[in-house]
Chains A and B, each alone.
Chain A
Amino acid sequence: MKGFTRKLKPLEVLAEEEIEAIHRGTLEVLWVTGVRMEHKRALQLLEKNGCKVDYDEMRVRFPQGLVEECLRKAPSNFHAPARDPKNSLMIGGNTLCLAVAPGQQTVDPDTWEPRPATRKENYDGVSILDALPTVHFFSPYTPYFGFEHVPPCMAMLESLAARIRNSTKFQCVGFSNDSEIFAIKMAQAVGIEILGTCAIAPPLSYYKDAVESAFRFAEAGLPLRIIGGQVMGGTAPATIAGAVVINNAEVIAGLVLAQLIKPGTRVLVKDFSASVNMRSGAPAFGGIEICMHNAASNQIFQRYGVPLDDTTAYPNAKMPDYQSSYEKAFRVLVAGLSGANTLLYHGSVHGELTHHPIQAILDDDSAGMVGRFMEGIAVDDETLAVDLIHEVGPIPGHFLDKAHTRKWWKLEQFLPKAADRLTYPEWMSTGKKTCLEYARERMDEILASHRPTPLTSNQEKEVERVLEEARKYYKEKDLITEEEMTVYRKAMQSPNYPYE
């Protein structure tokens, strides 16, 4: 099993009575104001189970007993099987599993300006992430939202196909225009499980498509990620405590629904909070207050016994630099210390707008450092090394030639792969390279050497069959124009299809 194990007591940012106050606030919001759910079948199911439902307003008010019962029914950890069992995960408990932080576009690694990713870059991106040991699973997207020459409605499914083909790790999918129907079919045809998505439209609202997605995944017996999405000061109160209350109410509404659709449904709740940038109105992803919000949610969901996914580690910086490093490092460190179960971390360059493998490789190092920290300090007779200290004694004694050192240093030190650790003379004589250049070299090495385990020919046929079924479905629904289809079909004639 992969993932980082936290052997430290989790960081507590809330006192006992503060947790209680937030829980009471959550229950009050769920009962008094309730949540809007634009889905008739969901409203009927919730009403049948004791919720107060206003069908005109599509508003559901949740009684405390039902909320607490459903929180108990949701598994506190669950198995997330990967195509290669070596990569299967246990999500929950005291583990942190890291995943890809996707971006709409890629960047030019010389200018760091955004541009659309090609098909090849999507496939190469997956392959690099498949090779990075601290990428424990994949979030939706490939890592890019868009594929060159692929109609937008097919991007989600082309992305899943690319990830199944070029990685043996556990996969998540999103939902858009019924894409989840075909995602589930593709997974079933290949014989794997995937993690589905249901997203809230804050404040306190669920759109029909999101609820439909919850039904489809829960009914298929698949795990479900329930994603908040508040921005503090915009779609949630500006105060962290108030934002935690409303976010709790929003995600718990979805959790209750999932447990009623199918009791015991594996649920991963995502606290996807950001602040409003009060200058531009855009989400300000890099803020320390997001770490505080996530830490509070981690503490509360440990109490609930439900696995939690923290806000995706999106920096506000535009390229890997000092700002980007602290924005990302604080997020992953706080997630690790405060008991997050998952975090989308690797590769995001600027917000959700851009991703690049060089960034993912840099993130592999900082992720490894946090994983190392979470393991804690081994303390026993051998690591205390008192006998060895007696043996070595004062100068001229030293430890460098000891078997104890040869055994232990590699276990105690974490060795980053793309960090500059040279002396000044070495650094000057090798062109003053920074971690960016080392990461680029590592990217080229991975691309030249890493060969993802291919699908069997039967699995490959099944993937293409489901893609073709989806293409026809969207063509009939007029979501693909003739012009788009011509470009798409032409791209599929490439001799290296599907890889480029």
Chain B
Amino acid sequence: MGTEVLEELSKAITIYDRGETERCARELVQRKMDPLKALDVMTEAIRQVGDGFGRGELWLPDLVGAAAAMEAATPIIEEEIKRVGATRESLGSIVIGTVFGDIHTIGKTMVATLLTAGGFAVVDLGINVTAESFLEGITEHHADILAMSALMTTTAPEQRKVIETLEREGLRDKIKIMVGGGAITEEFAKSIGADGYDPTAPGAVALAMRLMGKKQ
């Protein structure tokens, strides 16, 4: 019953159709179908797009287009998961964002999409995210990992500020922190006390797996 809607949802993501994914999500909720199943289907669709990107068959606009299509359905499905009191299974929960003062979105969105495709529950806080907003996001979503991006040498120090804020609030030991972006180097990541750095988006997924103690 209703499997055709799941198929339509999956297809809508792979053809980057935001309107259609949203429609499918609303129909799924209306028919009282299992929202966890819907989430699995979406993750699988994103994984397929991510794999195509990895093989060099698909390109950045395809990856970002699929992510945007999924984004149209995610809040509806998550609301339903909350309503029915179900628990979402994932490799771990990750809060991600580009730090305050920095409005670069592409690298961060790539990483968020590939992390989702890799099986993580990802909450994307967007760009220009303050230390306080990171703190709220981490608490609200019980994040296992915080992922921060900074493209500019002038905004990279903001990553240090976020880590210091977490230390002050006594949250630093409860979370793993990974950093990336054009301005970040391995040495810088170490100097600010991050748990990991990788210069590439696929590398970030492997890094998140390592931080969670998972094998790929």
User: Which A residues have a C-beta under 8 Å from some C-beta of B?
Assistant: 104, 145-146, 152, 176-177, 201, 233-234, 276, 278-282
Contacts of A176 in B (CB 8 A): 154
Query: Is the pair A145, B153 in contact by a Cβ cutoff of 8 Å?
Result: yes
Closest A residue, CB atoms, query B110? A281
For A176, A201, A280, the residue with the greatest tally of chain B CB atoms inside 10 Å of its CB is: A280
Closest B residue, CB atoms, query A231? B106
A-B contact pairs, 17 of them (CB 8 A): A104-B153, A145-B153, A146-B153, A177-B154, A233-B61, A276-B60, A278-B59, A278-B60, A278-B61, A279-B56, A279-B60, A280-B60, A280-B200, A281-B60, A281-B106, A281-B107, A281-B110
How many contacts A-B (CB < 8 Å)? 25
Query: Is the pair A201, B103 in contact by a Cβ cutoff of 8 Å?
Result: yes
Closest A residue, CB atoms, query B58? A278
Closest A residue, CB atoms, query B109? A281
How long is the Cα–Cα vector from A81 to B166 in the complex, in angstroms?
Answer: 52
Contacts of A282 in B (CB 8 A): 182
Contacts of B56 in A (CB 8 A): 279
How long is the Cα–Cα vector from A343 to B61 in the complex, in angstroms?
Answer: 31
A200 CB, nearest partner CB in chain B, Å: 12
Contacts of B110 in A (CB 8 A): 281
Contacts of A152 in B (CB 8 A): 153-154
Closest B residue, CB atoms, query A276? B60
Contacts of A233 in B (CB 8 A): 61
Known: A104-B153, A152-B153, A152-B154. A279 touches B106 (CB 8 A): no
How long is the Cα–Cα vector from A177 to B152 in the complex, in angstroms?
Answer: 14
Contacts of A201 in B (CB 8 A): 103
How long is the Cα–Cα vector from A239 to B153 in the complex, in angstroms?
Answer: 30
How long is the Cα–Cα vector from A104 to B184 in the complex, in angstroms?
Answer: 13
Query: Is the pair B59, A279 in contact by a Cβ cutoff of 8 Å?
Result: yes
- Which residues in window 53-77 of B have CB below 8 A to A? 56, 59-61
Closest A residue, CB atoms, query B60? A278
Closest B residue, CB atoms, query A351? B182
Q: Give B148-163 as 1s and 0s: 1 = Cβ < 8 Å from A's Cβ atoms.
A: 0000011000000000
A302 CB, nearest partner CB in chain B, Å: 33
Contacts of B154 in A (CB 8 A): 152, 176-177
Query: Is the pair A234, B103 in contact by a Cβ cutoff of 8 Å?
Result: no
How long is the Cα–Cα vector from A391 to B61 in the complex, in angstroms?
Answer: 68
Question: Closest 9 interchain pairs by CB?
Answer: A281-B106, A278-B59, A278-B60, A281-B107, A281-B60, A281-B110, A234-B106, A152-B153, A278-B61
Q: Give B58-101 as 1s and 0s: 1 = Cβ < 8 Å from A's Cβ atoms.
A: 01110000000000000000000000000000000000000000
How long is the Cα–Cα vector from A276 to B62 in the complex, in angstroms?
Answer: 13
A180 CB, nearest partner CB in chain B, Å: 15
How long is the Cα–Cα vector from A282 to B103 in the complex, in angstroms?
Answer: 14
Closest B residue, CB atoms, query A479? B157
Q: Give B92-131 as 1s and 0s: 1 = Cβ < 8 Å from A's Cβ atoms.
A: 0000000000010011001000000000000000000000
How long is the Cα–Cα vector from A104 to B56 in the complex, in angstroms?
Answer: 30
Closest A residue, CB atoms, query B199? A280
Closest B residue, CB atoms, query A234? B106
Contact partner of B106 among A146, A177, A276, CB < 8 A?
A276
How long is the Cα–Cα vector from A177 to B56 in the complex, in angstroms?
Answer: 41
A330 CB, nearest partner CB in chain B, Å: 24
Closest B residue, CB atoms, query A152? B153
How long is the Cα–Cα vector from A303 to B60 in the complex, in angstroms?
Answer: 36
A275 CB, nearest partner CB in chain B, Å: 11
How long is the Cα–Cα vector from A482 to B167 in the complex, in angstroms?
Answer: 21
How long is the Cα–Cα vector from A234 to B103 in the complex, in angstroms?
Answer: 13
For B59, B60, B110, the residue with the greatest tally of chain A CB atoms inside 10 Å of its CB is: B60
Contacts of A146 in B (CB 8 A): 153
Contacts of B153 in A (CB 8 A): 104, 145-146, 152
How long is the Cα–Cα vector from A177 to B106 in the complex, in angstroms?
Answer: 25
For A104, A278, A279, the residue with the greatest tally of chain B CB atoms inside 10 Å of its CB is: A278
Contacts of A278 in B (CB 8 A): 59-61
Contacts of B103 in A (CB 8 A): 201
Given A177-B154, A276-B106, 9 further pairs, Cβ under 8 A: A104-B153, A145-B153, A176-B154, A201-B103, A233-B61, A278-B59, A278-B61, A279-B60, A280-B200
Contacts of B60 in A (CB 8 A): 276, 278-281
Closest B residue, CB atoms, query A205? B103
B186 CB, nearest partner CB in chain A, Å: 13
How long is the Cα–Cα vector from A177 to B155 in the complex, in angstroms?
Answer: 12
How long is the Cα–Cα vector from A201 to B101 in the complex, in angstroms?
Answer: 12
Contacts of B59 in A (CB 8 A): 278-279
How long is the Cα–Cα vector from A152 to B158 in the complex, in angstroms?
Answer: 14
Q: Give B131-175 as 1s and 0s: 1 = Cβ < 8 Å from A's Cβ atoms.
A: 000000000000000000000011000000000000000000000
A95 CB, nearest partner CB in chain B, Å: 33
For B56, B106, B154, B200, the residue with the greatest tally of chain A CB atoms inside 10 Å of its CB is: B106
Contacts of B200 in A (CB 8 A): 280
Closest A residue, CB atoms, query B154? A176
A354 CB, nearest partner CB in chain B, Å: 13
Closest A residue, CB atoms, query B61? A278
Closest B residue, CB atoms, query A277? B60
Contacts of B106 in A (CB 8 A): 234, 276, 281
How long is the Cα–Cα vector from A146 to B103 in the complex, in angstroms?
Answer: 22
Contacts of B61 in A (CB 8 A): 233, 278
Contacts of B107 in A (CB 8 A): 281
Contacts of A145 in B (CB 8 A): 153
How long is the Cα–Cα vector from A280 to B182 in the complex, in angstroms?
Answer: 11
Closest B residue, CB atoms, query A353? B182
A204 CB, nearest partner CB in chain B, Å: 13
How long is the Cα–Cα vector from A25 to B153 in the complex, in angstroms?
Answer: 35
Contacts of A104 in B (CB 8 A): 153
How long is the Cα–Cα vector from A279 to B52 in the complex, in angstroms?
Answer: 12
How long is the Cα–Cα vector from A176 to B154 in the complex, in angstroms?
Answer: 9
How long is the Cα–Cα vector from A146 to B10 in the complex, in angstroms?
Answer: 48
Contacts of A281 in B (CB 8 A): 60, 106-107, 110
Closest B residue, CB atoms, query A233? B61
B123 CB, nearest partner CB in chain A, Å: 21
A245 CB, nearest partner CB in chain B, Å: 20
How long is the Cα–Cα vector from A411 to B126 in the complex, in angstroms?
Answer: 59
Contacts of A234 in B (CB 8 A): 106
Contacts of A280 in B (CB 8 A): 60, 200
Closest B residue, CB atoms, query A238? B61
